[in-house]
Structure 1
């Protein structure tokens, strides 16, 4: 009888130890899962802020004073200055919203650590989109707009000039169309970001969570 009692006590102790160890392990996994969800929400919110900021930067509606903070060259004509100022608008708008982009980029390494190295693409592709706007701005302001109606071109040269200029203007300005170049690229990035983060929002309830919730319900 004493032997059976001892065995029963031993089993009870082992079971209790297992429950504690399992509970700590489950709690740790849930804590990490919660941190992943919080980080995913933070990055998603940051990306939406970046999208909004880019929409403002590319807005075709501008005041007469925008772009005027650009440092003027000594030999610029009035017409050259106006075109260069127009291209500089995106840089002015970016500077006033720079914090949004900086904040988003600072989350890159934490996000990669939680969701894998391949998740870096979300940040690099977003940065490429922004840089493409700046690049098109420079091309338009220093080359295409400056040549328009001022440099003699034959029909073939003029047609090529117009085609290239329209490509850059499609990047520089928001057309508000569904097939807008930059909007389309941002939608692809958003879709990839949502695919990366989706699993952490769909994790099933763990045994530990179920047990503690059921225990709490019984106690009440």
Structure 2
């Protein structure tokens, strides 16, 4: 084989090596990007799911009846007089007070909404809207009950008052529609987040395939 052919062959092999190295580099870069995106999606899913669990617990607690001064007391007779009105107003406002103390949880949850939409899509982020709607409904209902306190409701006003009382957790029991809405919102976010979290944890346990 002539020196010219040997030189050409050497150049060809060098070129092929460069192509293979470049292809491997691009493939490695793509794999790294995929890994990073997957990791960020999983971390966001864990963060959001934990936020929804916390929001559910806080909203449940906010609507839990306020402590009664008569609990454990000797007199279970109905309270009457000006002090009763003060106590009842305080009980009405209890959900607002509790939610205000935990406002940072809801702010952080809503702050993650747009990142969640970017990774999982707008439809998957709808439970965020439901949590915000429930939060607003509880607060608005308490304010409306305070605003109309002492007024004698009639007709449609009575129905609205019943809705407001139901929203702050008064007398709902097994038919608590707001609690069902809250549970459905959490289940919806679980359907998006949990498969990704479980897949990631399974990969960590079993190692790369």
Shorter-chain-normalised TM-score: which range? 0.7 to 0.9
- CA shift for structure 1 position 59: 0.4
TM-score by length of 2: 0.72
* C-alpha distance after superposition, 1:78-136 (max 9, x if no partner): 55433322211112111222222122122122222222344443322211101111122
Q: 1:80 to 1:203 in 2, by over 3 A?
A: closer
Q: CA RMSD in A?
A: 3.2
Matches within 5 A, 1:57-76: 57-64=62-69
Which residue number in structure 1 is paired with residue 118 of structure 2?
Answer: 113
More deviation, 22-31/187-196: 187-196
TM-score by length of 1: 0.69
Q: 1:213 to 1:120 in 2, by over 3 A?
A: closer
- CA shift for structure 1 position 34: 0.6
Is residue 146 from structure 1 mapped to residue 150 from structure 2 by the alignment? Answer: yes
Is residue 195 from structure 1 mapped to residue 191 from structure 2 by the alignment? Answer: yes
Which residue number in structure 1 is paired with residue 95 of structure 2?
Answer: 90
Distance 1:161 1:213 in 2: 63
Distance 2:165 2:10 in 1: 85
The answer to whether the 8 Å contact 2:66/2:94 transfers is no
Question: Secondary structure at 1:16's aligned position in 2?
Answer: helix
Matches within 5 A, 1:26-175: 26-64=31-69, 78-143=83-148, 146-147=150-151, 151=152, 157=154, 163-173=159-169, 175=172
* C-alpha distance after superposition, 1:1-44 (max 9, x if no partner): 63556544433332222011110111011101111110111011
* C-alpha distance after superposition, 1:148-192 (max 9, x if no partner): xxx4x8xxx47x665544332222117453x42121111221233
The answer to whether the 8 Å contact 2:46/2:197 transfers is no
Distance 1:25 1:19 in 2: 10
Number of residue pairs aligned between Structure 1 and Structure 2: 186
The answer to whether the 8 Å contact 2:141/2:167 transfers is yes
Which residue number in structure 2 is paired with residue 218 of structure 1?
Answer: none
